[in-house]
């Protein structure tokens, strides 16, 4: 059996969902008429209680999880907050997250910084201070054979990325098993959806691994650390600030992970070298659309 048919995710992409992409006609370099699937973008406005927080551009799936995860990763939802309701209006494209605790983030909203995310992610001004209180588990481990199994499974899983492109994915993993695979036009949205799932379903973070198709930027490092996940992997590259923050917070940071190859720039003490030679790099690269 192939990796994509053998593995079962808790949540995985649905590339055939009619609301997530649409067909458009065009011409190629030779003038031939072609039909192409392209991903959709739609706005989603997130409220926390009575206060409007942000409008995000998203493909529109898992709006409740996206809203909760965004608020959690912006440190607006505390770990002990009780959510009393999540109201989603599909026509208005609005999600309202209601909590037992009263909230007021007017001052916080004045101090937001645009990030390098390709769909205008934001990090609010006091988020860096919150990282000082986060302690990632030093006992967490990543076996190199797990890493190769993860990349092989994830990159052969049917997805919008493979069928339409122009989209990013993030995957929550445990050891060699991918569990929750989310996609969106911005990698920050994809990881926020996972954060929402973890918060709503009380999924522990200490033994998890985060995989992303996108760059290892400061925002991805901050969100992963905020979530309490000790290991972050990407098939893409690094930014200098992302590396500096990973080293500062003790996050294991691995990039350019394809087949047997990878580069680790932070947290190498969590890595266990036990290569599995059953995975062939050439066949792996043939299955990967870049």
Spell out the per-residue pLDDT of the chain, length 290, in tens.
Answer: 333 445 899 999 999 999 999 999 999 999 999 999 999 999 999 999 999 999 999 999 999 999 999 999 998 999 999 999 999 999 999 999 999 999 988 766 765 644 545 544 555 556 666 677 788 999 999 999 999 999 999 999 999 999 998 899 999 999 999 999 999 999 999 999 999 999 999 999 999 999 999 999 999 999 999 999 999 999 999 999 999 999 999 999 999 999 889 999 999 999 999 975 555 554 444 444 43
Contact 121, 222 (CB under 8 A): no
The CB-side HSE value for 258 (13 A sphere, CA atoms) comes to 15
- Structural Rg of the chain based on CA atoms: 19
- Could you tell me if 155 and 107 lie in one domain? no
Asked if residue 232 and residue 143 are part of one domain, the reply reads yes
Per the domain annotation, does 31 fall within a domain? no
Do the beta carbons of residue 270 and residue 141 sit within 8 Å? yes
Q: How far apart are CA 44 and CA 5, in angstroms?
A: 33
9 belongs to a structural domain:
no
Are 148 and 275 in contact, with CB atoms under 8 Å apart? Answer: yes
CATH number at residue 112: 3.10.20.10
96-115 pLDDT per residue, tens: 999 999 998 876 676 564 45
Q: At 24, list the tokens.
A: 């458009």
Q: Are residues 59 and 176 in the same domain?
A: no
Are 115 and 259 within one domain? no
> Phi-psi bin for 106: left (phi > 0), alpha (psi -120 to 50), beta?
alpha
How many whole angstroms separate alpha carbon 63 and alpha carbon 179?
A: 19
Contact 39, 160 (CB under 8 A): yes
CATH number for the domain spanning 140: value is 3.40.140.10
Residues 182 and 94 in one domain: no
| 109 and 169 co-located in one domain | no
Asked if the structure places residue 156 within a domain, the reply is yes
What value, to the nearest 5°, has the Cα angle with vertex 168 and ends 164 and 169? 110
**How far is residue 109 CA from its own chain's centroid?**
23
* Structure tokens given for 211: 């995989």
Task: Give the CA distances from residue 100 to residues 48, 62, 72, 77, 103, in Å, rounded to whole numbers and listed in that order.
Answer: 11, 23, 15, 11, 9
Give the residue ranges of DSSP H helices in 132-228.
Answer: 144-154, 160-163, 187-201, 218-226
Q: Which domain holds residue 118?
A: 42-125
Q: Whole-model pTM?
A: 0.88
The confidence score (pLDDT) of residue 18 equals 94
Query: Are 181 and 147 members of one domain?
Result: yes
* Same domain membership, residue 199 and residue 113: no
Q: How confident is the model at residue 132, as a pLDDT?
A: 77
In order, the DSSP letters of 29-61 are TTS-EEEEEEE--EEEEEEETTEEEEEEEE--S
- Is the same domain home to 279 and 139? yes
Are 281 and 142 in a shared domain?
A: yes
**11 located within any domain:** no
> Exposed (0-12), middle (13-18) or buried (19+): which is 265, by Cβ within 10 Å?
middle
98, 125, 152 - which closes a domain? 125
d(CA 167, CA 41): 10
Residue closest to 134 by CA, chosen among 65, 208, 69, 230: 230
Domain annotation covers residue 29: no
Task: Verify that 215 and 259 share a domain, yes or no.
Answer: yes
Taking a C-beta distance cutoff of 8 angstroms, is the pair 179, 10 a contact?
yes
Report in angstroms the alpha-carbon separations of 85 from 77, 97, 196, 201, 258.
13, 6, 14, 14, 42
Q: Do 120 and 161 sit in the same domain of this protein?
A: no
What is the DSSP code string of 94-152?
A: EEEEEESS----HHHHTTEEE-S-TT--EEETTHHHHHTT----TT--EEHHHHHHHHH
End-of-domain residue from the set 77, 93, 125: 125
DSSP 232: E
User: How many separate domains does the chain show?
Assistant: 2
Structural domain contains residue 19? no
Domain boundary residue, one of 125, 150, 183: 125
């Amino acid at each position: 059996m192939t990796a994509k048919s053998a593995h079962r995710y808790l949540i995985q992409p649905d590339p055939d969902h009619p609301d997530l992409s649409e067909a458009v006609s065009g011409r190629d370099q030779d003038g031939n008429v072609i039909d192409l699937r392209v991903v959709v973008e739609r706005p989603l406005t997130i409220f926390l209680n009575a206060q409007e927080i942000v409008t995000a551009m998203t493909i529109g799936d898992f709006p409740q999880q996206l809203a909760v995860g965004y608020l959690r990763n912006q440190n607006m939802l505390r770990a002990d907050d009780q959510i009393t309701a999540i109201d989603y209006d599909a026509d208005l494209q609005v999600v309202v997250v209601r909590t037992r605790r009263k909230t007021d983030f007017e001052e916080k909203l004045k101090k937001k910084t645009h990030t390098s995310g390709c769909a205008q992610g934001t990090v609010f001004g006091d988020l860096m201070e919150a990282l000082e209180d986060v302690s990632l588990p030093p006992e967490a481990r990543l076996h190199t054979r797990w890493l190769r199994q993860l990349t092989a499974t994830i990159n052969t899983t049917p997805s919008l990325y493979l069928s339409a492109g122009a989209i990013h994915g993030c995957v929550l993993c445990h050891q060699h098993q991918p569990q929750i695979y989310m996609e969106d036009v911005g990698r920050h949205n994809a990881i926020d959806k996972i954060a929402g799932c973890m918060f709503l379903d009380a999924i522990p973070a200490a033994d998890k691994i985060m995989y992303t198709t996108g760059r290892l930027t400061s925002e991805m490092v901050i969100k992963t650390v905020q979530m309490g996940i000790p290991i972050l992997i990407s098939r893409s590259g690094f930014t200098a600030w992302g590396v500096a923050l990973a080293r500062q917070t003790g996050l294991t940071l691995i990039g350019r992970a394809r087949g047997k190859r990878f580069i680790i720039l932070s947290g190498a003490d969590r890595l266990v070298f036990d290569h599995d030679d059953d995975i062939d790099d050439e066949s792996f690269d043939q299955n990967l659309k870049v």
